[in-house]
Amino acid sequence: MTAAHNYLAVIKVVGIGGGGVNAVNRMIEQGLKGVEFIAINTDAQALIMSDADVKLDVGRESTRGLGAGADPEVGRKAAEDAKDEIEELLKGADMVFVTAGEGGGTGTGGAPVVASIARKLGALTVGVVTRPFTFEGARRGKQAEQGITSLRESCDTLIVIPNDRLLQLGDVNLSALDAFKSADEVLLNGVQGITDLITTPGLINVDFADVKSVMSGAGSALMGIGSARGEGRALKAAEQAVNSPLLETSMEGAHGVLMSIAGGSDLGLFEINEAASLVQEASHEDANIIFGTVIDDNLGDEVRITVIAAGFDGGTPVRRTVAARGIGQHTAPDPQEAPDAGRGNVFARPPRTDDPFPARTTIRESGDEDDLDVPSFLQGRR
């Protein structure tokens, strides 16, 4: 048993800056398994509070452990001065996630440095970051855009979560504190949706090479989530994921798609086919689609779908609405069926007659795992 463990992909999640470290803490709190957590910050006090396996305070001389003062240049220099230490921490990783809240100092300036080091070491490097709320100010927004541009050049794939769009998934009484927690939850969802694919064994294994085929050098990526119950639930959930408020643009033109469907043991093959077909139609006709299901009876009659789309052609995708087939004119998420963040995501490739890639199916049993936690802002206040 010990020898087999050596063949598992080594995945490291790096949270850099205040937002990134908070996101890592949330992932640890929610029980994200199979990864090593690394927290990096110029704020020594915040770093002490982190639950990460490894902590690295950078910029000890330039900031004296007091933070970057929301200056990305200070964050960049602090990370560059610690390049050797960061490289040592990332050695041996097959995949590295770099997570941060864009717009501040340490995360905005330091994340591209960390990503560049990871990629230089040969790791599949994925950035998962948030764009700040509008209420955080124009300066922070401008710095965020500059940081996102820099990070995109340093990663294989970059997933950007627009915080403003989280407000469309919550209610009008959502507090500022809950809004920032919501952002952490979505960062968790993005990372877990990919790591569970690699770390959770399936009846037919979907391995690291499959994920790498979608995400290596893919550039910008989009993430959508959906949840539904009752008649046409899988199709409705897929429609919600494809038209999720988290998607700033359409999935149309995506050459690589990771998709998971989670449901109870009554989840039907016809339902799965309908949902997968809808997502397939929203992607490029020759897309490499990694698809799979997780069976979790704790979900009852609920179906949850998470979609990550990557590998777009140079142009900007155009926002569009994908109409559901066979369930009436449902074209937008129902307020009582707010998208739920899928947990325990599993993927495989869906069958399609014109797909040059072989069809694959993965079905995983979640057993009595009771660590399933659905973010309150995605629960539709059930």
Pair (229, 361) in one structural domain: yes
Number of domains in the chain: 2
pLDDT of res. 96: 97
Residue 198 lies in a domain: no
Q: Which domain CATH number covers 352?
A: 3.30.1330.20
Q: Does some domain include residue 202?
A: no
Look up residue 362 and give its two tokens. 């993965």
Residues 248 and 363 in one domain: yes
pLDDT at 192: 80
Residue 174 maps to a domain: no
Residues 247 and 329 in one domain: yes
Same domain, 115 and 228: no
Burial class of 149 by CB neighbour count within 10 A (0 to 12, 13 to 18, 19+): exposed
Give the end of a domain, one of 134, 155, 176.
155
Residues 19, 95: one domain? yes
Residue 166 lies in a domain: no
Q: Does the residue 185 lie in any domain? A: no
121 and 237 belong to one structural domain: no
Tell me if 292 is assigned to a ligand binding site: no
Give yes or no: residues 122 and 229 share one domain.
no
Any known ligand binding at 136? yes
Residues 6+ apart with CB under 8 A from 315: 253
Q: Give yes or no: residues 20 and 112 share one domain.
A: yes
Q: Is residue 295 part of a domain?
A: yes
Whether 167 is covered by a domain: the verdict is no
Is 326 annotated to bind ligand? no
Question: Which pLDDT belongs to residue 7?
Answer: 64
Separation CA 183–CA 100 (nearest Å) = 11
Q: What is the CATH number of the domain that holds 107?
A: 3.40.50.1440
Distance CA 40, CA 50 (A): 10
Q: How far apart are CA 25 and CA 21, in angstroms?
A: 6
Tokens representing residue 181 in the block? 């927690």
Which residues lie across from 363 on neighbouring strands?
Answer: 293
Per the annotation, does 127 bind a ligand?
Answer: no
Residue 329 domain flag: yes
Cβ proximity of 223 and 308 under 8 Å? yes
Q: Are residues 151 and 278 both part of a single domain?
A: no
360 in the same domain as 258: yes
Contact, 211 vs 124, CB < 8 A?
yes
Domain that holds residue 40: 2-155
293 is in an annotated binding site: no
Say if residue 20 carries a ligand binding annotation. yes
184 is in an annotated binding site: yes
CA distance 379 to 169: 9
Domain boundary among 155, 175, 195: 155
Do 228 and 314 have their domain in common? yes
Q: Domain end: 131, 155, 179, which one? A: 155
Q: For residue 179, what are the CA distances in angstroms to 90, 137, 162, 182, 351?
A: 31, 16, 12, 5, 39
Q: Distance between alpha carbon 49 and the CA centroid of its chain, in Å? A: 24
Kindly report the pTM of this predicted structure: 0.76
pLDDT tens across the length of the chain (382 residues): 444 444 688 999 999 999 999 999 999 998 888 899 999 999 988 899 999 989 999 988 888 788 888 899 999 999 999 999 999 999 999 999 999 999 999 999 999 999 999 999 999 999 999 999 898 899 999 999 999 999 999 999 999 988 888 777 767 777 878 878 888 888 887 888 788 777 765 433 567 888 888 888 888 888 888 889 999 999 999 999 898 877 777 788 888 898 878 788 888 889 989 999 999 888 888 888 888 777 778 789 999 888 888 888 653 444 344 343 443 333 344 444 444 433 333 333 334 344 433 333 344 444 444 443 444 433 443 4
Q: Do residues 72 and 149 both lie within one domain?
A: yes
